[in-house]
Amino acid sequence: MEFFFEVLIGGLLAGVMYSLVAIGFVLIYKASGVFNFAQGAMVLFAALTFVSLLERGVPFWAAFAVTLALMVALALLIERAVLRPLVNRSPITLFMATLGLSYVIEGAAQALWGAQVHGLELGISDEPLELGGLLLSQFDLFAAATAAVLVIALSLLFNRTRIGLALRAVADDPLAAQAVGVRLQRVWAVVWAVAGFVGLVAGLLWGARLGVQFSLSLVVLKALPVLIIGGFTSVSGAIVGGLLVGASEKLAEVYLGPWIGGGLENWFPYVLALLFLLVRPAGLFGERAIERV
């Protein structure tokens, strides 16, 4: 049982890493209905910028501040140059725009910082820590604590502030929100800026785990099952979905892998997501679409 709980808790902590990427998707989709496929490229751009500044002798917190400023500026530029001109276009048009944008961001990152692989050290050891007889990764515990702080901060922002009230109004009915004086462009700008910050946090943690390389942008694919299971419109759903994906893939790899073959954790989350699409398309916390005819 100790081994089972080690695998389970390790999977839950790994799932938090997926949730950090998924939160960026949820924020933008909830406010504007846009599935931002460029979120993975934003994670890569943040990690590559930060580690490149560190390698040039910039102090840690100064590099963090400069990278955060660049990520907010990038997010605002995307909102102004891409989202606004495509308002009221079809969802597939918006999706294809963000897909093309992801390659533009990756190309810009390569032009600015080069294509070499970087190691990123945040000062957090990845050695196992014994808690109650269980061996847990210190880095995963730190990532879980970071995600918890981030979710609490986002909950306070969107539930206790005027901009949060405006966001919920826009998410429920954009036209009605605009009719009562809510400025859609301002709400979108704030949401994209927050998504840029979330991308920075996810980029630093994933960069420290995998190394800062261009394959880091593919972490977006791990977020898809999380979004399908948790729901595209819920921050808490992104967390729960990430926990389910992380736990299920680790348990499947350990207990089903010897019978089926290795590599289950690469595709098992998509099987789980497919089952959710068949049974509960909106996800656990997603809002079901209601159409009046």
User: What's the CA gap between 212 and 40, in Å, rounded?
Assistant: 13
pLDDT tens digits along 85-140? 876 777 788 888 888 888 898 888 888 888 788 888 887 777 777 776 677 778 88
In the chain, the amino acid numbered 113 is: W
Partners of 118 in the β-ladder: 212
In the chain, the amino acid numbered 196 is: G
**Percent of the chain whose pLDDT exceeds 70:** 94
pLDDT tens digits along 165-176? 887 777 767 777
Contacts of 35 (CB under 8 A, 6+ apart): 25, 28, 29, 91, 94, 95, 98, 232
Instruction: From 60, 64, 30, select the one nearest 197 (Cα to Cα).
Output: 64
Is pLDDT at 289 greater than 60 in this prediction? no
pLDDT tens digits along 57-82? 889 899 999 999 998 888 888 878 87
For residues 273, 158, 14, 146, the Cα torsion angle rounded to the nearest 10 degrees is: 170
Q: Hey, where are the domains in the chain?
A: 2-216
Beta strands 128-131 and 134-137, pairing class: antiparallel
